Structure 1
Amino acid sequence: MTTYRRAPEVWREMGLTDAEYERIVSLMGREPTDVELGMFAVMWSEHCGYKYSRPVLRLFRKYRESLEGAGFENAGVVPLDDRLGIAFKVESHNHPSAVEPHQGAATGVGGIIRDIFTMGARPIAILNSLRFGPLSEPRNRYLFEHVVEGIASYGNCIGVPTVAGEVYFHPCYSGNPLVNAMAVGVVPLDGIVSARADVPNSAVMYVGASTGRDGIHGATFASETLGDDQEEKRPNVQIGDPFMEKLLIEATLEAIETGAVLGMQDMGAAGLTCTTCEPTSKSGTGVEIDTSLVPTREANMTPYEIMLSESQERMLLYVQAGREEEVARVFRKWGLNAVVIGRVIEEPVVRVRHRGEVVAEVSPDHLTKACPTYTLQADEPAYLREAQRLELAEVPVPDDMNAVLLALLESPTIASKRWVYEQYDWLVGTQTILPPGAGDAAALRIRGSERGIALTIDCNARYCYLHPYRGGQIAVAEAARNLACVGAQPRAITDCLNFGNPQRPEIYYQFEQAVRGIADASEFFETPVVSGNVSFYNESEFGAVYPTPTIGMLGILERPEDAVGMGFRAAGDVVLLVCPASRPADAEPHFGIGASEYLYVQHGLERGAPDPVDLAAERALHRLLVELARRRLVRSMHDLSEGGFAVALAECALVHGVGVQVNLTDAASEGAPRPDAALFGERQTRVILSASPQHVNAIVARAQQLGLACYVIGETGGDRLTIRWDGASLIDLSLEECREAYEGAIPRWFTRADLPG
């Protein structure tokens, strides 16, 4: 092996500090080879090593258990019944999507799908959470258009439906969009494949696409701030082939059925380096491989490039000795590479040869468990106290509430995302119950089970910016509420924690507080965080993105046929509002106007703190909604979120074109002091229901038994949306006016002739 002392610029360009390089030398007792240094650089990046986030992630109970046990697998698995489990996970592909939006988004989908079928699960659904800068900027429109195009092209081609998602727009994302992809699969509980290498002499088998030079140091790229050199980073972005991935799914699941596959891991971040060192570190074993045996699509690739490439559609299998050809035949049948490149050995070392010459020899524990952990300084941001201050007297009451509602419905963050989801195939697989836009969460049947599942992905970043702890709690509460609104019992969480540079104390404070809020809420609701991802360094010349801890959540439907949509179904139904019986003692005096989309759209202000969530009342609400769905007492359920009561009511009316007339009493508006607070305030734990008149008494009685308030506020019918409050008519609009604002908002940004670019 060739080792020598390098100039500091070499390891610094790889993202390693001087102290970390010296730690590597100390661990190895010598200077690392070029290949070893590259392996350390990617495995000790924040993206792979979680060196800055690990101390805070210990707040998650399941994460603590994984650190004390075998470590996280590729995805979390939750039992659906006594035979099947649901595997699910969310990850980010933010930096690649900023540089090359189509391929960045597409390979984000491909990577998260591989995390699912690597567990032995058949992928059945995709979700996404997307954040962009204002559509008035040509660059943001370009990113938005091509990210959606990339997600659609990959998901549609691979035959996995994209069933739900969210899209937000805000100036903080102009230089650094967020592209979070979530995938879900079904796996027999006795057929889960682990990312382990337990058995010495078992074969190390490379399967899938050939290796190229794309994606080299992608993990390092994801662990640094975007700058003016974005175009130079294009080689760090992988290139995806969804047709190849479809073949890989089928071949992998068929190979698992042979019983010869002992362990498996996707070659995602850090590629072959990660898939050799992580399984062996968990198992206390080692591997010896030869990179000259790896199929490559480019000539004269070096062992450094082969070990660090993040080319897509590749897996590493650990196969029972003597059964290599049996497994290889499966992959060759599907037209894929299947090559034994080495063996598991008892000695705990990753030994890499190239044409017989040893180019790397390093303990897997040095690459994984020895990754340094940093407890960073957390300081409350200077902006926070002043930004949280908001007096209602500082906010004028608008004269025309109709105009305010139309402006909110036209705000791209609230407006219909039909332009997005119509590009996705959400019906493929024929298990989707509720189409996008029809419910607060996606609902799916599961073949082979009497149960179904519900899925959602959610986060209000403005809440997290103005109050990181409450924002984290609310992200969990709203995701759980979305599931309960379709009739599903919230069960478990996967999260994607998007933040700026953690080495800045104010960013680390946001991260720590938001995670604490998520942990407290998830523990209270008994919805553990079972998988996830941390994405730091989401910054640009415009500054850091708002803290965006995206929550993906899984719920269980006892009977898929009980799934409930959000839209009013027919004229003559009674409209009800369910909310806490009393406001929390620490409730904000601005009645939800603070931190609201209304305050931002109408008044250009981002101030105040989000109203706190009463976790006990929220849990009671979840129980009520699930019971109502199972007893089939409701026709629709929809939670109140961005835009408050008026926007939620309009959304209920627009799904099926059924009008509504309501009268908000003082009690139903929780004593709101002024009309805009009653209409547009964003208070938590509130849901609009519709039901046949004969079920109203039972609904009200059950809500009261659970300690909740439930008010009859109106009736469905006609073609108008009318809201009275305190005896006065505040809103009176035709559904057509509302639909024009709501459905046309995003498409208009791509057809207006007066826009630059």
Structure 2
Amino acid sequence: MSSAPHIDSVSRAAETPDERQPYAELGMKTDEYVRVKHILGRRPTSCELAIYSVMWSEHCSYKSSKVHLRQFGTKAPESDALLVGMGENAGVVDVGDGWAVTFKIESHNHPSYVEPYQGAATGVGGIVRDIMSMGARPVAVMDSLRFGPADAPDTRRVLPGVVAGIGGYGNSLGLPNIGGEVVFDESYLGNPLVNALCLGVLRKDQIKLATAPGPGNKVVLFGNRTGPDGIGGASVLASATFDEESQAKRPSVQVGDPFTEKVLIECCLELFAADVVVGIQDLGAAGVSCATTELAAKGTGGMDVRLDLVPLRDETLRPEEILMSESQERMMAVVTPEDVDRFMEICAKWDMPATVIGEVTDTGRLRMTWHGELIVDIPPGTAADEGPVYDRPYSRPLDQDELQRRDPAGLPRPDDLRAELLRLLGSPNLASKEWVTAQYDRYVRGNTVLATPADAGLLRIDEVMPGAEPSTRGVAISTDGNGRYTRLDPYAGAQLALAEAYRNVAAVGARPLAVTNCLNFGSPEDPEVMWQFAEAVRGLADACQTLGVPVTGGNVSFYNQTGSTAILPTPVVGVLGVIDDVTNRVRPGFTEEGATVLLLGETREEFGGSEWAHVAHGHLGGLPPAVDLAAERRLAELMAAAAAEGLLLASHDLSDGGLAIALAESCLTGRYGCRVTLPADPFVTLFSESTARMLVAVKPGAESRFAELAAGIAVTELGRTGGDALVIEDLFEISITELRETHTSTLPAIFD
């Protein structure tokens, strides 16, 4: 076929060096465009410009965060468990008995504001494909969600769609949703956070990587056909300030098809079992552009692609649009010539379209043709790995000192502690999230041991692969973050997010092993936002080093702001742990009478950023609770040992709302009350949010052994489980019925 006039070929680009190109409209800076021309020795073709614009976007290249994220590598603790770290689609951790677990969290914030259902649904689909691309079977999902005030009209528009999208996609895939967060705050109005996590399981000798080795190997695109949905979607939406002007130019949000993805999962697993895949990459942000450049860059350095062979749902798509499309449920594999027929047979069995679109080379060039015309000829590493790196200026916010001086210690304390507990228990952030989680299937597949409202989700992993030896081994995972803490002190706030997730995993009896994170911030071009980011990364890297849990990967989401108003800086941290025997897991509630209720850890007067200050006074100021990583580590070791010996009836970490909320939730979850006596100042004891604390119920007869294990940790005996009310001696009592009515009525009253 002869060259059509509208095809911008490599030869035409060389002949028309001064032709104006819409690089700015694609999000490129002038100096970045000049650099592309220098790399190529000519102006880029329109297809090359499409590749560089999406690959050098903030979302894909991490150009404003790389200089800080390197700390996760330079400060990484020694870990015998880490099999695959940062740089791949997801990290992989050895959990014993020949098993490995891969997990990762990513954001889909702006797409979920534009189109809540599809934005959230495709966020789940994308993170699931990241897990598939490591050679694993996805086995569970979680989500960390943040919205504006619960009763705001826009929250009522966005939240139901986001929840329906997550539930609709995850439920259709048959993946249990085992935990997460739902948080409300004014700063997220107009810019919700939708962070999705997926967990996968595989044998440790079956890991797949995103690489294209071996000249002559074939490049196969399989899964859904490519359409116009999501052209430049996540890569553009996540790389620009989200204001009215940018909304007017926003690209279409991706459209998901979970039933196709379910088949794609099974197809991939059979391909892996048949050992016909040399390398594999999912098609997410930047689509074909990303998959081809990253595979080529990590392989033998070259790839030839016939772009006109890409199967299309819309035959009018131009080559540039095909490259930028973020149509869902697509994968790209590298296959040896002798395995192509078998690969195609397996895809045909699953009715999964598959097309050979190219071949691996050793030329060091990514070359693409369109009906015989050369339209791309670039060194792939320059797009995938050698994008711009910005060490952006940062400065401490002008109001930071004043904010920290606004200590909540001077706020009026309540006269009625009973009423205050109920007020917090029914507030949107602390109220039951059952209205949300009831829309998710938590127990599909039959391997869920613990799920919401437990502190961490817990799964058995023995029934995942056919022929596997029976095992009681399990993995636990939790995600946590606190934007108010991070606003008050970004360094400590990131550490507190890690500490809470670490503590939640320990609460169920698991040993924390590894970390993933999703770092949600405003514009990196704002020096004050960049200071928050730099401090948060530094704090998280230092804390991971101290706790001995390496960062395996994650995501940075910038430009989370509406106009010039940024969200609260919100690092969300996921911690993965392992438990040798899931029958030793510790439940979150009081399920029997007569157990001894203990408070582990030290309580101090710490209310900066607390739920009490927020709910009772709308106050944000002071310093967040002090971080004590050594105490967190001792507490986690105690919990693992006590769980292994079967000493505990229940446990619940103390975090938002302090001991008051932990006691109420333990009564509600287990359906038995308790009778306790508070030491010292009842108000501080009930509502302080001091860290490294746990509420536990020790089984009758196990008190002495638990005391031996807890040597060196502050232990306060509070009382006993039993009855049908939460009784605080000499202060008040609240029936479980009243606790439940208060706790469960808030969200249905708003969203039903």
User: Does 2:650 match 1:636?
Assistant: yes
**1:494 touches 1:530 (CA, 8 Å); kept in 2?**
yes
Residue 298 of structure 1 aligns to which amino acid in structure 2? D
Structure 2 counterparts to residues 208-607 of structure 1, below 5 A: 208-218=223-233, 219-229=235-245, 232=248, 235-391=251-407, 394-437=410-453, 439-447=454-462, 448=468, 449-541=471-563, 543-580=565-602, 591-607=605-621
**2:210 touches 2:295 (CA, 8 Å); kept in 1?**
yes
Which residue in 2 is equivalent to 1:617?
631
Cα 1:503–1:9 change in 2 (3 A) is farther
CA distance in 2, matches of 1:393, 1:450: 48
Cα 1:434–1:731 change in 2 (3 A) is same
**1:63 touches 1:530 (CA, 8 Å); kept in 2?**
no
**1:57 touches 1:63 (CA, 8 Å); kept in 2?**
no
571-580 or 550-559: bigger deviation: 571-580
Which residue in 1 is equivalent to 2:5?
none
Cα 1:233–1:457 change in 2 (3 A) is farther
506-515 or 685-694: bigger deviation: 685-694
**2:76 touches 2:550 (CA, 8 Å); kept in 1?**
no
CA distance in 2, matches of 1:541, 1:137: 19
- Shift of residue 24, structure 1, vs aligned partner: 0.7
CA distance in 2, matches of 1:451, 1:577: 29
CA distance in 2, matches of 1:659, 1:44: 56
**2:674 touches 2:725 (CA, 8 Å); kept in 1?**
yes
Residue 435 of structure 2 aligns to which amino acid in structure 1? W
Structure 2 counterparts to residues 130-149 of structure 1, below 5 A: 130-149=145-164
TM-score scaled by length of structure 1: 0.94
Q: Deviations over 1:290-341 (max 9, x none)?
A: 1110000002211111111110000110001122121011112211111000
User: Does 2:9 match 1:10?
Assistant: no
Which residue in 2 is equivalent to 1:689?
696
**2:86 touches 2:553 (CA, 8 Å); kept in 1?**
no
CA distance in 1, matches of 2:408, 2:215: 69
Percent identical: 44
Cα 1:703–1:328 change in 2 (3 A) is same
- Shift of residue 513, structure 1, vs aligned partner: 0.7
**2:241 touches 2:523 (CA, 8 Å); kept in 1?**
yes
Structure 1 unaligned spans of 5+: 667-673, 752-757
CA distance in 2, matches of 1:699, 1:233: 61
Cα 1:6–1:316 change in 2 (3 A) is farther
- Shift of residue 235, structure 1, vs aligned partner: 3.9
**2:85 touches 2:553 (CA, 8 Å); kept in 1?**
no
**1:8 touches 1:18 (CA, 8 Å); kept in 2?**
no
**2:160 touches 2:751 (CA, 8 Å); kept in 1?**
no
Residue 504 of structure 1 aligns to which amino acid in structure 2? D
CA distance in 2, matches of 1:422, 1:492: 29
**2:408 touches 2:622 (CA, 8 Å); kept in 1?**
no
Cα 1:221–1:713 change in 2 (3 A) is same
Cα 1:114–1:63 change in 2 (3 A) is farther
Q: Deviations over 1:627-668 (max 9, x none)?
A: 1110111100101110011111111111122111111123xx
CA distance in 1, matches of 2:141, 2:500: 20
User: Does 2:56 match 1:44?
Assistant: yes
CA distance in 2, matches of 1:126, 1:27: 41
Structure 2 counterparts to residues 9-28 of structure 1, below 5 A: 10-28=22-40
Structure 2 counterparts to residues 655-674 of structure 1, below 5 A: 655-666=669-680, 674=681
CA distance in 1, matches of 2:268, 2:21: 42
SS at match of 1:246: helix
- Shift of residue 435, structure 1, vs aligned partner: 3.4
Q: Deviations over 1:200-252 (max 9, x none)?
A: 11000010000001111120221111111566466431000000001111111
**2:659 touches 2:686 (CA, 8 Å); kept in 1?**
yes
**2:408 touches 2:613 (CA, 8 Å); kept in 1?**
no
Q: Deviations over 1:547-592 (max 9, x none)?
A: 1111111100110111111101112211001104xx7xxx8xxx11
Residue 703 of structure 2 aligns to which amino acid in structure 1? V
CA distance in 1, matches of 2:19, 2:488: 44
**2:502 touches 2:575 (CA, 8 Å); kept in 1?**
yes
CA distance in 2, matches of 1:9, 1:545: 34
**1:99 touches 1:230 (CA, 8 Å); kept in 2?**
no
- Shift of residue 509, structure 1, vs aligned partner: 0.7
Residue 610 of structure 1 aligns to which amino acid in structure 2? P
**2:271 touches 2:346 (CA, 8 Å); kept in 1?**
yes
SS at match of 1:694: coil
Cα 1:461–1:274 change in 2 (3 A) is same
Residue 696 of structure 1 aligns to which amino acid in structure 2? E
Which residue in 1 is equivalent to 2:174?
159
CA distance in 2, matches of 1:376, 1:488: 39
For the aligned residues, what is the CA RMSD?
1.8
SS at match of 2:138: strand
CA distance in 2, matches of 1:684, 1:715: 23
Residue 54 of structure 2 aligns to which amino acid in structure 1? V
Q: Deviations over 1:378-412 (max 9, x none)?
A: 11112211111244552111111111111111111
CA distance in 2, matches of 1:350, 1:444: 42
CA distance in 1, matches of 2:661, 2:294: 48
SS at match of 1:10: coil
**2:191 touches 2:567 (CA, 8 Å); kept in 1?**
yes
CA distance in 2, matches of 1:338, 1:329: 10
Which residue in 1 is equivalent to 2:65?
53
Residue 18 of structure 1 aligns to which amino acid in structure 2? T
Which residue in 1 is equivalent to 2:80?
none
**1:175 touches 1:542 (CA, 8 Å); kept in 2?**
no
SS at match of 1:187: strand
- Shift of residue 136, structure 1, vs aligned partner: 1.4
**1:291 touches 1:352 (CA, 8 Å); kept in 2?**
yes
SS at match of 1:205: strand
Residue 243 of structure 1 aligns to which amino acid in structure 2? F
Residue 708 of structure 1 aligns to which amino acid in structure 2? I
- Shift of residue 523, structure 1, vs aligned partner: 1.0
627-636 or 135-144: bigger deviation: 135-144
CA distance in 1, matches of 2:337, 2:214: 9
Which residue in 1 is equivalent to 2:465?
none
Which residue in 2 is equivalent to 1:196?
211
Which residue in 2 is equivalent to 1:677?
684
Residue 32 of structure 1 aligns to which amino acid in structure 2? P
Which residue in 1 is equivalent to 2:724?
719
- Shift of residue 517, structure 1, vs aligned partner: 1.2
Which residue in 1 is equivalent to 2:738?
737
Which residue in 1 is equivalent to 2:87?
72
CA distance in 2, matches of 1:425, 1:6: 57
Which residue in 2 is equivalent to 1:703?
710
Cα 1:387–1:8 change in 2 (3 A) is farther
User: Does 2:193 match 1:171?
Assistant: no
